[in-house]
């Protein structure tokens, strides 16, 4: 009975789709006739049409011939079009000489021609919608995965909308006025426009925050902690900006593993201690407090493996609609995503397609997207292991699509998993709208935490001697002006540290360093 009902449903759908598709042959003929007889109309409107906009196969053939002639800067008229079609043996396919002469006798005014083009494009869009809906219906019948069918449906409809939106040339005065108004506001308030803050002050100052529509690549060799760093940013936002909505997709770890890492970072309880249940009563209280803090935040996680970019975009679109906002998306990691199109084993092209779609997603949802990426093994063959843009694995298009590219690198060369604390550098190798440079951190693997170092000298000396490192470079620099020594924050208290090997250095030495970031002005 169910099989019979499914068959009847599919049959009724097929009957509905067999109705005559929207078209207007008179409008198509009038536009082609205008192109044949009026060079100005041709120049104004030829580029705004495509072959698929024409319903009649004969009209498509004539239009393609016209477009080829115009592309070669040749005149487009009855003589040149007829000659080209004859040489290519397509004259009969275009309806013959008599039909071309009939087209040339059609003389609509320029105003009427614009109206007819509007009709053509309206009908073409309707046909695309019908065709796409047919494909969506077929997928609903044939696919077993409802979420995949939904993601394909949403992506397909979205693609129609984006393809139908064509930008226009505008007088430069319009965007100039907008830019000057924004800069004037910055001048008056002395507060530059900023994006989403990571709450790592040195990173925020270098990037001015993550802006809507940006695609940020975070790549690293194994063992550097790129997942931990990305989740540290998410945790910072959940802790300090709980109203912000963050979506984290981890295609490798389970949600429980991810949450445990976040709890370790928030509570500073040793991961092994947590696993064995050896916490103290005080540490257990910290764990409950961290759980309540995360519950009050708007951090959403998804551990579904082998997702496509379309599926991730579908989930983000629904989350944004439900929460009325979306502030950050994190994807861990690019090479684990399933390709949307079969490229016959061409992995590089599959990764390029995925990268391009993620950039489109960032623009459409108006949200920064952090994408973790693997690096090529070629870096292991070099004596200098400092990452370069060419080290991004499997596709140069990743570099092209990204607005920012970060490399997390072991500053001291330690790459063993047994090393509990590592001096790492965050190399900003590409920044489309700002400066590049290097920021120094200490990665405490035991507690899944990244702490900011004032500069490389501190990163190389402080972690090996003490349990903590500066959480905030600006605060450390300011306190260095007040203290004789040089220090870091442990928990919420300031504590001095041992004099670094090689002798002490003063604040002026730090200020001369290229990587020094001055403290923020006091409010």
Q: What is the pLDDT of residues 375-405, one digit of tens each?
A: 777 777 777 777 878 777 666 677 778 889 8
Are residues 399 and 282 part of one domain? yes
Q: Among the three residues 99, 120, 142, which one is the final residue of a domain in this structure?
A: 142
**Residue 95 — φ and ψ, nearest 5°?**
105, -5
Region 333-347: mean pLDDT is 72
Band (5; pLDDT cuts 50, 70, 90): very low
Model pLDDT, residue 241: 86
Give domain status of residue 160, yes or no. no
pLDDT (tens digit per residue) in 219-235: 887 777 788 888 888 88
User: Read out DSSP for 241-290?
Assistant: -TTSEEEEEESSS-HHHHHHHHHHHHH---HHHHHHT---HHHHHHHHHH
d(CA 432, CA 405): 9
Q: Say what the pLDDT of residue 417 is.
A: 53
Rounded CA-CA distance 138/13 in Å is: 10
514 has a pLDDT exceeding 90: no
Q: In the predicted model, is pLDDT for residue 187 greater than 80?
A: no
CATH of the domain at 70: 1.10.860.10
What is the pLDDT confidence band of residue 411, given thresholds at 50, 70 and 90? low
| Residue given tokens 């190399």 in the structure block | 427
pLDDT at 167: 56
Identify which of 58-62, 340-344, 392-396 has the greatest average pLDDT.
58-62
For residues 296 and 290, give the distance between their C-alpha atoms in angstroms, rounded to a whole number: 10
From the CB of residue 372, how many other CB atoms can be counted at a distance below 10 Å? 25
| Lowest-pLDDT range of 15-19, 43-47, 206-210, 408-412 | 15-19
**Residue 55 shares a structural domain with residue 112:** yes
Q: Which two tokens stand for residue 163?
A: 């393809």
Structure tokens at 170: 């505008």
The torsion angle over the Cα atoms of residues 115, 121, 127 and 132, rounded to 10 degrees, is -150
**% of the chain exceeding 90 in pLDDT:** 12
pLDDT band, residue 159 (cuts 50/70/90): confident
Q: What is the rounded (10 degree) CA torsion for 369, 374, 379, 381?
A: 180
Q: At residue 21, what are phi and psi to the nearest 5 degrees?
A: -75, 150
178 within a domain of the structure (yes/no) = no
Residue 247: left if φ>0, alpha if ψ -120 to 50, beta else—which one? beta
d(C-alpha 85, C-alpha 81), whole Å: 6
* Judgement on whether residues 342 and 386 belong to the same structural domain of the protein: yes
- Mean pLDDT is highest, among 95-109, 251-265, 353-367, for 353-367
* H or E element at residue 42: helix 39-45
Read off the pTM. 0.62
Q: Determine the Cα–Cα distance for residues 296 and 380; give it in Å rounded to an integer.
A: 43
Q: Which two tokens stand for residue 98?
A: 């008599």
Per-residue pLDDT tens over the stretch 489-509: 333 332 333 333 333 333 333
Count the Cβ atoms, other than its own, within 10 Å of residue 395: 22
Q: Judge residue 356's burial from the number of C-beta atoms within 10 Å of its C-beta, 0-12 exposed, 13-18 middle, 19 or more buried.
A: middle
Which residue out of 8, 51, 252, 483 is catalytically annotated? 252
pLDDT at 517: 38
Mean per-residue pLDDT for 437-462? 69
The whole-number pLDDT of residue 327 equals: 92
Residue 384 and residue 326 in one domain: yes
User: In this structure, are 66 and 117 located in the same domain?
Assistant: yes
**62-66, 126-130, 264-268, 324-328, range with the lowest pLDDT:** 264-268
Beta-carbon contacts of 315 under 8 Å, excluding residues fewer than 6 positions away, are 151, 247, 249, 302
Residue 437 within a domain:
yes
Is it the case that residue 2 has pLDDT exceeding 70?
no
Residues 137 and 46 in one domain: yes
Looking at residue 293, its pLDDT comes to 79
Number of domains in the chain: 3
Q: What is the pLDDT of residue 513?
A: 34
Pair 211, 88 in one domain: no
Selection from 334-338, 365-369, 471-475 with the highest mean pLDDT: 365-369
508's CB contacts (< 8 A; 6+ apart) are none
Residue 149 falls inside a structural domain: no
Residue 124 falls within a domain, yes or no?
yes
Tell me, yes or no, whether 137 and 279 share the same domain.
no
pLDDT at 467 over 70: no
370 shares its domain with 255: yes
Residues 474, 424 within the same domain = no
357, 506: one domain: no
Residue 461 lies in a domain: no
Please check whether residue 338 is in contact with residue 308, taking contact to mean a CB–CB distance below 8 angstroms.
Answer: yes
520 pLDDT above the threshold of 50:
no
Q: Compare 285 and 343 and report the one with higher pLDDT.
A: 285
Task: Tell me whether residue 192 is in a domain.
Answer: no
Are 313 and 285 within one domain?
Answer: yes
Residue (of 403, 411, 401) closest to 225 by Cα position = 411
Known catalytic residue at 102: no
Which of 421, 452, 483 is the last residue in one of the domains?
Answer: 452
Among candidates 463, 450, 422, 514, which has minimal Cα distance to 200? 450
Give the model's pLDDT for residue 85: 92
Could you give the CA distance from residue 179 to residue 132 in angstroms, rounded to a whole number? Answer: 39
Domain span holding position 473: 468-523
Single out the residue of 358, 328, 429 nearest to residue 387, CA to CA.
Answer: 429
Identify the weakest region by mean pLDDT among 53-57, 91-95, 439-443, 486-490: 486-490
The mean of the pLDDT values for the chain is: 75
- The pLDDT of residue 34 is above 60: yes
CATH number at residue 295: 3.40.50.300
Rounded distance, CA 357 to CA 395, Å?
14
Distances (CA, A) of 339 to 302, 313, 370: 18, 14, 19
Instruction: Please say if the pLDDT value at position 49 is more than 70.
Output: yes
* Cβ–Cβ < 8 Å for 41, 113: yes
177 assigned to some structural domain: no
Give the CB-side neighbour count of residue 52, counting CA atoms within 13 A: 9
Q: Please say which residue of 142, 167, 190 terminates a domain.
A: 142
State yes or no: pLDDT of 171 exceeds 60. yes
Which one, of 223, 149, 215, 142, lies nearest residue 414 by Cα?
223
The confidence band for 486, taking pLDDT boundaries of 50, 70 and 90, is very low
């Amino acid at each position: 009975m169910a099989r019979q009902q499914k068959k009847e449903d599919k049959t009724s759908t097929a009957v509905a789709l067999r109705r005559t598709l929207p078209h207007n042959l008179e409008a198509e003929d009038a536009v082609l006739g205008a192109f044949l007889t009026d060079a100005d109309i041709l120049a104004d409107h030829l580029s705004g049409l495509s072959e698929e906009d024409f319903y009649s196969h004969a009209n498509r053939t004539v239009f393609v011939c016209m477009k080829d002639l115009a592309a070669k800067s040749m005149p487009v008229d009855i003589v040149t079009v007829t000659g080209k079609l004859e040489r290519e043996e397509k004259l009969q396919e275009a309806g013959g000489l008599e039909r071309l002469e009939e087209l040339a006798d059609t003389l609509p005014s320029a105003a009427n021609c614009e109206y007819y083009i509007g009709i053509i494009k309206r009908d073409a869009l309707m046909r695309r919608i019908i065709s796409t809906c047919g494909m969506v219906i077929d997928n609903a019948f044939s696919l077993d995965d409802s979420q995949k069918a939904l993601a394909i449906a949403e992506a397909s409809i979205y693609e129609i909308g984006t393809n139908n939106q064509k930008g226009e040339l505008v007088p430069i005065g319009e965007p100039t006025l907008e830019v000057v108004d924004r800069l004037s506001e910055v001048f008056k308030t002395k507060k530059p426009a900023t994006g989403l803050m990571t709450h790592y002050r040195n990173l925020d100052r270098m990037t001015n925050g993550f802006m809507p529509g940006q695609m940020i690549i975070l790549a690293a060799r194994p063992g550097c902690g790129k997942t931990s760093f990305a989740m540290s940013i998410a945790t910072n936002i959940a802790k300090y900006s709980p109203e912000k909505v963050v979506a984290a997709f981890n295609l490798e770890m389970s949600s429980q593993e991810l949450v445990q890492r976040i709890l370790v970072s928030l509570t500073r309880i040793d991961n092994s201690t947590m696993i064995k249940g050896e916490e103290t009563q005080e540490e257990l209280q910290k764990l409950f407090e961290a759980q309540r803090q995360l519950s009050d935040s708007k951090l959403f996680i998804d551990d579904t493996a082998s997702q496509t970019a379309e599926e991730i975009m579908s989930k983000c679109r629904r989350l944004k609609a439900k929460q009325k906002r979306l502030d950050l998306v994190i994807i861990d990691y690019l090479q684990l995503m399933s390709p949307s199109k079969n490229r016959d084993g061409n992995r590089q092209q599959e990764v390029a397609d995925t990268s391009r779609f993620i950039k489109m997603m960032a623009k459409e949802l108006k949200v920064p997207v952090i994408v973790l990426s693997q690096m090529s093994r070629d870096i292991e063959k070099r004596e200098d292991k400092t990452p370069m843009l060419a080290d991004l694995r499997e596709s140069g298009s990743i570099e092209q699509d990204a607005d920012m590219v970060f490399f997390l690198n072991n500053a001291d060369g330690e790459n063993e998993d047994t090393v509990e604390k590592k001096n790492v550098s965050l190399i900003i190798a590409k920044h489309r709208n700002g400066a590049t440079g290097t920021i120094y951190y200490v990665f405490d693997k035991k507690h899944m935490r990244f702490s900011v170092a004032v500069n490389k000298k501190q990163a190389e000396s402080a972690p090996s001697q003490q349990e903590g490192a500066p959480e905030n470079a600006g605060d450390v620099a300011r306190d260095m002006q007040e203290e004789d020594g040089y220090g870091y924050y442990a928990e919420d208290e300031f504590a001095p540290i041992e004099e670094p090997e090689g002798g002490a250095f003063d604040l002026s030495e730090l200020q001369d360093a290229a990587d020094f970031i001055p403290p923020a002005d006091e409010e």
